[in-house]
Structure 1
Amino acid sequence: MALSISPKLEEKLVCSICLELFKVPITLPCGHNFCKRCISDHQGKQEQAAAGAKQGFSCPECRQSCAPQLELKKNVTLSKVLELVRASTTGVKQCEVTPGGLCPRHGRPLELYCEDEQRCICCVCTVQQCQRHRRALLEDVHSRKQALLEKSVKEAQEESEKIERALQELEERTQSIKDSSEGLRSVILSKFAHLEKSLQAFQCQMVAKVEQELSAALRRVEENSNTLKGHLDTLRQHQEQARDLLVSTTDHRTFLEAGARVSVCPSAGIPPAPGLGEPGGAPPGAVRRGRRGGAPQRDPRRHLPAPAGGFAWCHGPQIPRPRCLR
């Protein structure tokens, strides 16, 4: 490729796929440039694969993944640079049409450049065809166009570097956001795990306490039950003795002598046991409500006559209410 540009500049303007000057240059998100047709063919081949339809395609230069069905946009700045390159190349080629740099029309040396027609001309062309056109020396036009082209390439390179830096910053910001989110997630999981552990420990303590209270309450109930059973046996013996005395003894002296031995109830002095659902119990003669909220009721024993022979009313022992039910 005979271009009047530096090799470094030429290298920057060549597509890495077709190895020619860019035709409709396209810039990928990674910053690399390709011909639109070349990168479209590359994109189509990779997306036709089974996994490519979802994963997209990769850049031929850096292998960075691109989104599937990515819209390929034209690089306007690079396109303008290529137009200047092609214009400069066309002018140089016109000057080199004939051997020795002679004008193909007049056979004279090509010494000037017509900026209106963008071609190299000889002195005869200057007088005849290009008399009213803008003209300049070949060296001056070449230097000016080369400087302009190099400036455009430099600007395009700077713009590409800015875009690459912006993309790098976005990637770093994305990673920072992910790291922060992961750290917050770890803290939340740790806090809730600690809270769950504390709740489980508290649950075990409460259940153990309830079990302990239950065991203590059942133990007291069993003790009271055994005590009541003992008193019940004593009362039954007392009843049998009293009934035998009442039935079998008719003589006054014998009755009084035997009655002195059984006249006192064995359980006298024991406070009455509370009723079901009545903590502490109610003393004899106290006013009590009916189950369904009826008229006040009094202990019927209060209105009964005193037992004959000095017998006292017997009251069962008081059953303490379990602590867990207080």
Structure 2
Amino acid sequence: MASSTPSRTEEQFLCSICLEVFSEPVSIPCGHNFCKRCVSQTWDTKAVCKCPLCNRSFSIRPELSVNTLLSEMVSQWKLEEERRSKRVSKPGEVQCDVCSEPKLKAVKSCLVCLSLFCESHLQPHLSVPRLKRHQLMEPVDDLEDRMCPTHQRPLELFCNTDQSCVCSMCVLLEHKNHELLSLEETFEQEKVFLQQTVAENQRLVEQRRLKVREITAALELSERQAQRETQQMVKVFSDIMESVQRCLDHHLEVMEQSLSKHKEHAQALIQQLQQEMCELEKSSTEAQQLSLSTDPLHFLQRCPALPPAGLKDWSSVSFEPQTCEGSAARALSELETSLSQEFNKVFRQLPPKDGLRRVQTFAVDVTLDPDSANLKLDLSEDLKQVHHTDVRKELPDSPQRFDACAIALGKQCFSSGRFYFEVQVKGKTKWDLGVAQESVNRKGKIGLSLKNGFWTIGLRDKDKYSASTEPSVLLTPLWPPQKVGVFVDYGTGLVSFYDVDSADLLYSFTGCCFREKLFPFFSPCPNSGGTNSAPLIISAVNSL
């Protein structure tokens, strides 16, 4: 079918029956023209031959002969349209600014007119004396970028002093006594510099490739040392009573986790090195492609800052093999401490689940105290959850509020008897839980210790558990606790912590001398960029 909006010329060559360009055009006696096939088929279905346009009847069916003049005109028009279609700009090609749709492909740009011209519309610039003085160049889309935004003149020179392209007016008004170079001269100089940069990038890539090999070799050595130490540890623990088998499994897990962290660190360094290698190679590729440019201005405006910014100085980075020697001795020392603690458990005569079930009978309802919470802590509406944010709330300060540490106390206080509560710590990499006496310091940095009035245990670095004794005691739970139970016997001076899921006793402070009110203590610790954003949740106690 013909275009829905044909040009005036095209309309002259359309058959009024099929609405297509004439095919074997014929003229009938009334003077109207049709495709031979169209009018023949029309008359074949009619009893009387009539003109499809004016309805003039013919008593005798006219003999149809091709109109040679019209046929030749149609052929010439088709040929012209075909030639024109070849000149029409394709997607991605620069278009003539003067053409109406469809726009033809531009062949030149005028820096004076700031316009793009096809072959036809360029003719005045080639024949009119006044226009022949205009500066023409290869067609580009960014003509305005080639003009001085201040003086609207072509950018013709490069100011080496200010490292910018300038026009002749800029030289007179703003760049007097500056070192000026032609665009072509600067272009050649920068190409040389670009080639040097490519070579330097390759050297940096090779330097990082050697560093990758160095780190990989160190990692392999770490794995071999870890394997030897693991074998030694297994031999030592194989001679220990079956009752400490779980302790052995734990230390093996610690070894594996330590090696895993060491490996993660190595992989992170390797990944960073490889990323910088990719950036350098990408920069080299871009530089090589740009070096092929023949357009000085395009080259200078597109030339990236090389080498890429933010590259790390790897000469000072080292990755040493992980030192695993002495792990077995340390494990035995910790085992001795752990066994000593086990003997001092208050409920050592009871099975673990019986001990936890017993203290759970003293469960109390605990909620958070908003007046004590640090301004960067976010408390839930039911005052059962707390997590650290980076946004400081605009609230008045008070003597009860912790102003520097991520701490909140419970609303409830206890000065006698026994009480127990449970807190979910799932998903956290750092936290502290326990009880604090009423008079603890709440301003500035605070050390969690017995002498400062805190009886707490906490987690650091995802897997390092300790109690706030003096010095602190490293705790070795068989698996990371997801929910911690806190039990206090005020009269006997006891504070115990339980892994609620396994019913294991994590640690007990014994022989404490309480003289003040005690408050439940909660510290979700800083969120560390989102890695420790999970909340502490005061949970309902479900007895075993």
Q: TM-score, normalised by structure 1?
A: 0.28
Larger Rg: 1
If each structure's strand is expressed as a fraction of its own residues, which one has the higher value? 2
Q: TM-score, normalised by structure 2?
A: 0.17
If each structure's helix is expressed as a fraction of its own residues, which one has the higher value? 1
